[in-house]
Amino acid sequence: MFKGLEHTAIASPNPKKLAQWYVDHLEFHINYEYDGNYFVKAANGTVLEIIQSEGARGEPKMKDPGIRHLAIQVDDFDAARERLTQTGVQFLAEPTGSQGNCIVFFADGDGNFLHLIHRQKPLP
Question: In angstroms, what CA-CA distances link 52 with 10, 15, 30, 90?
Answer: 9, 6, 16, 25
Instruction: Report how far residue 43's alpha carbon sits from residue 47's, in angstroms, rounded to the nearest whole number.
Output: 10
Segment 51-86, tens digit of pLDDT: 999 988 888 888 888 888 999 999 999 999 999 999
Domains of the chain, start order: 1-54 (3.10.180.10), 66-124 (3.10.180.10)
* Residues 38-55: tens digit of each pLDDT: 999 999 999 999 999 998
